[in-house]
Structure 1
Amino acid sequence: MEDYIEQKVKSKTKKYVTKFVKVLFYIIAGIAFVLLFAYVFMYLWNWLMPELFGLTTLTYWQAAGLLLLSKIIFGGFGNGGGGNKKKGKKRKSNRPGKSKFSRMCNDDFSKWKFYDEYWKEEGEQAYDKYVERKRNEKEI
């Protein structure tokens, strides 16, 4: 009977120690991945951004902070199991063949190519007349 209990205790101890070592390994691996990711981000930023956009270089901790800030603002670097749970259901469109942006905007944007030219020729005068009309309406 004592051998059975001793065997059971050894088995449970081994199980818990193995589980603890795995959890510890995953924690250390996760921390190492985050540190390495921040270093890669810093390297890519310092390689591309100053030359392309004239931005300054980042230190390691600034890169890590920028990654954390982007995580807070934009919500993460993956799906994380959240979001839309309706898999396999296709959203029906009332206008097939149109993109989501096209469906949202029913305006004809081609007329805007004349905006700058109009503003140079007539816009300022028309705007001044509009402002004067609004001021007169408030005075009445």
Structure 2
Amino acid sequence: MEKTLTIDDKQVTFKSTGSTVLRYKSQFGKDFFADLMKMFPAMKMIEKLGKESIENKDIDYETLQYIDFELFYNIIWVLAKTADKNIPEPMEWLDGFEEFPIMEILPELQELMMHSLQGKKKTQRHPAEKK
């Protein structure tokens, strides 16, 4: 699955494939799925606040203390790296943006992140297996 967003007047493509999980582990030394699951409470909080609150910056410290932004940046980077093998290391890549509105980007990539957890392939039983 793939999605392109405009960030700081630049077209950035994000992609989720089978290699995304291994690329994340290789880059950050952490389990992609475990980190993705850690994101969901914060994503729900962001969703509950709504786009208007985010744009108006109506987010208080109490809300922000539960959000691990490093995790968000890492997952966003690995989705971009999966789409474009030529993007640089995370900090260098992020330095290429004057603005990186993470609270607006995350909801746009939520479906792509969920795609990593869900599969379309149906498993088939081996003919020798008992039903």
TM-score (norm 2): 0.22
Which has the greater radius of gyration?
1
Q: Name the structure where strand makes up a greater proportion of residues.
A: 2
Q: Which has the higher helix share?
A: 1
TM-score, normalised to structure 1, is 0.21
With CA pairs under 8 Å and 6+ residues apart, which has the higher RCO, 1 or 2? 2
